[in-house]
C-alpha cells in the first residue's frame, strides 16, 4: 500500500528534514500516488502513498488526529477495518475519513498496545503518542509488510526498506551472524538481524514502545501452536474447514479495496485455486496475469500449458507476457536495487518484470505465496520426515545450503564467529506447543522462514512498481488451522492433500495432479555462458576483493565448477555468492 519512514531523536535535536527527504526518496516507488511529511521537535514521519482504500485526501498520511493527540504512518491493509469502524463508532469515536488508516488510530486510542490483537491484515505502522511521548511500532503477525530500523544513542530511525537507513548513515559493516545465516538458509536472515550491522528489522507479530529517553519495550503478541485441536476432527472436517477459511481469506482481500484486484496466475495449484474460489463465490470479472521465459534445453521457461487451462475454464481477462533470456541480465541490477535485502530466489527478477507490466493495468493482486509452507508442498518435507538423527540434523540435511565446514572455507577468518544457523534452529525447534517433528518444521517454515524468502520477494518486487500483493494463504486464521492439521494428512498425495481435495471438480485434474513446479527461470538456474561470466566478474572484482568477505581461493573453485556446488534445494551456490556481493555493490557501495 505504501512506504513509511521516520525518526525519534533521544538527544533533543530536531529531525533533519534533509534526512527525512532522503528516506522518502528511497521508498518513493512503493507509493507513487502522493507523499507527505510531519514533524515536531524530536520526531518526524514521512510517507509515500499508494491509494487503495479511500482515495480522497482525507486518507492522506502522515495522519494526525488532533483530538486524540496521535500521529500515524502506516503501510498495509486492514481487512476488517469496516467492522472495527462500526465497533469503535459505538464507543463514541467520530471518523473524518473512510480509511483503514484512521481505524488504526482509533483502535490504538481505545485498546492501547492490544489494538494489534483486533487488526486482521498485513501491516507495519508507527504511531507517535503525544501524551505518552513515545512511539508505538507494530508489524503484522505473519511479517508480510516489512519494517526496518536503525538504533543508536542519538535516535531510532525506521523505514520500509534498508536502503533508506543506509542513505542516512546506518553502519554498513557486515553482520557476521547474519552472513552465516544468509549463506546457509538461502538468503533468509531471521529478524531482528540483517546482513548490515546497522540495519535491523522488527520481528513479525511484534510491537515496540520506544520512549523519548531511548528505553524500548518489545512484546510478541501472537505465537501459533502446531498441535491437534482439543476436539478431534475427521479428515473431511479438516478439509472442509480449510475450504471455508481459504474462501474467507480470498474474499476479505477482494472486499478491502476501492480499486480493481487481479490474480498473479502461475499455472500452479495455488494461484489456480484462488481463481477458482473467486469464481465459486460469484466473481465474474476476474483479471489474471502470467509471465514466461525462454526454454533452456529440456527445461521449460513457462507454465502457460497450465495457466491457459485456467484462463479457458474460468473465462478470465488475461494478460500473458513472454520475456527473452536476453532481457534478464540487463534488468537484473534494477531488481536487486529494489531488494530490501539480498534475495537469491530465481523468481525475484521474474516477479519484478511481471509486476512492471501488471502495474500498468491494476494496483492490487492476489498471489499464492505460503501455500507450500502451510500445506506441505515441497519435496524436502518427506525427506526430512524419513531422515534419522536429531530434529535439527533431520531438517538441516535437506534444507541448509552449505555445511558449516564449507562456510568456513567460503568466507575469510574475520567472519568465523560460530554456526549461528544451527543455534537459531535449535531455538526454533525447542519451542513448546508442537506435537511432532514435522509440526515444528511447518511452524518454523510458515512463521519464520517464509517471511524472509518468498513473502519478502513478492512484496519488494511488486511494490517496486506501486503494486500491492495480497497473500490469502498467509491469512493468520488459515495458518493457525493449517498448523493444527496432522502432518500425515497434509503430506499425503505428495503434499498439499487438503488443497487438492478442495480443488477436485473446481480445477482441471491436469493442474491438480501435475508435478510441483517452481517459477521457471532457466537462465538463472543453469549458470553458464554470459551469466557465468557475469557472476565471475562480480566475485573477482576489486570491490569484492577489497571487501574481504569471501575467500578468493574458494570462490575460484566454485567459478571453475559451478555445477558441483549446488544446494540441497537445487540452487546454485555460485549465484548465492554473486547475488550477495552484487547487492552490496548496488545498495551499499557509493551510498556511504
Pairing, β 43-49 against β 34-40:
antiparallel
SS3 463: helix
SS3 534: helix
CA atoms within 13 A on the CB side of 235: 11
- Which residues are within 8 A (CB) of 576 and not within 5 positions of it... i.e. 6 or more apart? 183, 186, 187, 344, 401, 567
Q: How many CB atoms lie within 10 A of CB 551?
A: 16
Lookup: cell for 581: 556481493
Which helix H or strand E contains 135, and what residues bound it?
Answer: strand 134-139
| Residues 181 and 193 sit within 8 Å (Cβ to Cβ) | yes
Cα dist. 460→124, 191, 229, 457, 471 in Å? 14, 17, 36, 5, 14
Angle at 324 between CA 533 and CA 560, to 5 degrees: 20
SS3 383: helix
Lookup: cell for 67: 483530538
Beta bridge partners of 3: 48
Query: 544 an active-site residue?
Result: no
- Which residues are within 8 A (CB) of 362 and not within 5 positions of it... i.e. 6 or more apart? 259, 260, 261, 262, 287, 467
Burial class (CB in 10 A: 0-12, 13-18, 19+), 284: exposed
Q: How many CB atoms lie within 10 A of CB 131?
A: 8
Lookup: cell for 209: 514502545
- Write down the catalytic residue from 2, 5, 115, 126: 2
Cα dist. 562→194, 318, 366, 554, 572 in Å? 27, 38, 36, 12, 7
Lookup: cell for 402: 552449505
Beta bridge partners of 151: 156
**Angstrom distance (rounded) from CA 211 to CA 10:** 8
SS3 139: strand
Cα dist. 397→184, 282, 381, 401, 402 in Å? 11, 45, 11, 9, 9
What backbone torsions phi and psi does residue 226 show, to the nearest 5 degrees?
Answer: -125, 65
Which helix H or strand E contains 349, and what residues bound it?
Answer: helix 347-358
| Residues 187 and 343 sit within 8 Å (Cβ to Cβ) | yes
The set of catalytic residues is 2
Amino acid at each position: 500500500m505504501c512506504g513509511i519512514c521516520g525518526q525519534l531523536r533521544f538527544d533533543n535535536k530536531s529531525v533533519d528534514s534533509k534526512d527525512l527527504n532522503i528516506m522518502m526518496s528511497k521508498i518513493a516507488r512503493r507509493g507513487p500516488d502522493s507523499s507527505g511529511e510531519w514533524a515536531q521537535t524530536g520526531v518526524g514521519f514521512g510517507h509515500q502513498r499508494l491509494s487503495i482504500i479511500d482515495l480522497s485526501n482525507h486518507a492522506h498520511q502522515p495522519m494526525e488526529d488532533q483530538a486524540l493527540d496521535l500521529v500515524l504512518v502506516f503501510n498495509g491493509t486492514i481487512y476488517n477495518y469496516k467492522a472495527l469502524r462500526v465497533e469503535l463508532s459505538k464507543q463514541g469515536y467520530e471518523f473524518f475519513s473512510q480509511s483503514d488508516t484512521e481505524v488504526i488510530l482509533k483502535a490504538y486510542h481505545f485498546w492501547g498496545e492490544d489494538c494489534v490483537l483486533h487488526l486482521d491484515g498485513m501491516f507495519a505502522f508507527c504511531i507517535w503518542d503525544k501524551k505518552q511521548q513515545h512511539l508505538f511500532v507494530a508489524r503484522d503477525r505473519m511479517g508480510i509488510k516489512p519494517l526496518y530500523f536503525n538504533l543508536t544513542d542519538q535516535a531510532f530511525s525506521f523505514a520500509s526498506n534498508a536502503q533508506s537507513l543506509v542513505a542516512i548513515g546506518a553502519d554498513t559493516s557486515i553482520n557476521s551472524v547474519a552472513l552465516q545465516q544468509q549463506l546457509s538458509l538461502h538468503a533468509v536472515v531471521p529478524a531482528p538481524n540483517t546482513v548490515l550491522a546497522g540495519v535491523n528489522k522488527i520481528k513479525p507479530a511484534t510491537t515496540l514502545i520506544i520512549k523519548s529517553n531511548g528505553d524500548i519495550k518489545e512484546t510478541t503478541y501472537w505465537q501459533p501452536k502446531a498441535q491437534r485441536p482439543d476436539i478431534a476432527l475427521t479428515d473431511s472436517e479438516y478439509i472442509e474447514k480449510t475450504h471455508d477459511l481459504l474462501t474467507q481469506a480470498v474474499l476479505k482481500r477482494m472486499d478491502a479495496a476501492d480499486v480493481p484486484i487481479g490474480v498473479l496466475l502461475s499455472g500452479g495449484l495455488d494461484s489456480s485455486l484462488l481463481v477458482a474460489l473467486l469464481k465459486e463465490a460469484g466473481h465474474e470479472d476476474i483479471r489474471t496475469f502470467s509471465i514466461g521465459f525462454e526454454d533452456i534445453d529440456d527445461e521449460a521457461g513457462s507454465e502457460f500449458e497450465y495457466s491457459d487451462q485456467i484462463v479457458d475454464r474460468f473465462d478470465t481477462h488475461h494478460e500473458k507476457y513472454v520475456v527473452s533470456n536476453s532481457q534478464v541480465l540487463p534488468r537484473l541490477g534494477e531488481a536487486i536495487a529494489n531488494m530490501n535485502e539480498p534475495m537469491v530466489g530465481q523468481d525475484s527478477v521474474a516477479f519484478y518484470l511481471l509486476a512492471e507490466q501488471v502495474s500498468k493495468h491494476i494496483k492490487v493482486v492476489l498471489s499464492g505465496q505460503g501455500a507450500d509452507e502451510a500445506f506441505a508442498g515441497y519435496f524436502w518435507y518427506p525427506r526430512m520426515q524419513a531422515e534419522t538423527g536429531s530434529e535439527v540434523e533431520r531438517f538441516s540435511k535437506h534444507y541448509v545450503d552449505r555445511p558449516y565446514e564449507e562456510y568456513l572455507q567460503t568466507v575469510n577468518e574475520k567472519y568465523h564467529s560460530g554456526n549461528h544457523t544451527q543455534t537459531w534452529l535449535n531455538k526454533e525447534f525447542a519451542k513448546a506447543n508442537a506435537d511432532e517433528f514435522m509440526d515444528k518444521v511447518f511452524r518454523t517454515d510458515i512463521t519464520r522462514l517464509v517471511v524472509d524468502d518468498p513473502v519478502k520477494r513478492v512484496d519488494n518486487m511488486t511494490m517496486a512498481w506501486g503494486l500491492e500483493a495480497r497473500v490469502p494463504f498467509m491469512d493468520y486464521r488459515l495458518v493457525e488451522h493449517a498448523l493444527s492439521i496432522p502432518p500425515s494428512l497434509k503430506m499425503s498425495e505428495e503434499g498439499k492433500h487438503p488443497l487438492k481435495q478442495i480443488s477436485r471438480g473446481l480445477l482441471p485434474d491436469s493442474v491438480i495432479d501435475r508435478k510441483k513446479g517452481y517459477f521457471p527461470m532457466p537462465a538463472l538456474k543453469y549458470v553458464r555462458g554470459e551469466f557465468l561470466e557475469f557472476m565471475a566478474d562480480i566475485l573477482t572484482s576489486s570491490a569484492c576483493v577489497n571487501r574481504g568477505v569471501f575467500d578468493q581461493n574458494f570462490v575460484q573453485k566454485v567459478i571453475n565448477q559451478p555445477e558441483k556446488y549446488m544446494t540441497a534445494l537445487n540452487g546454485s551456490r555460485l549465484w548465492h555468492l554473486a547475488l550477495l556481493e552484487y547487492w552490496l555493490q548496488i545498495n551499499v557501495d557509493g551510498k556511504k
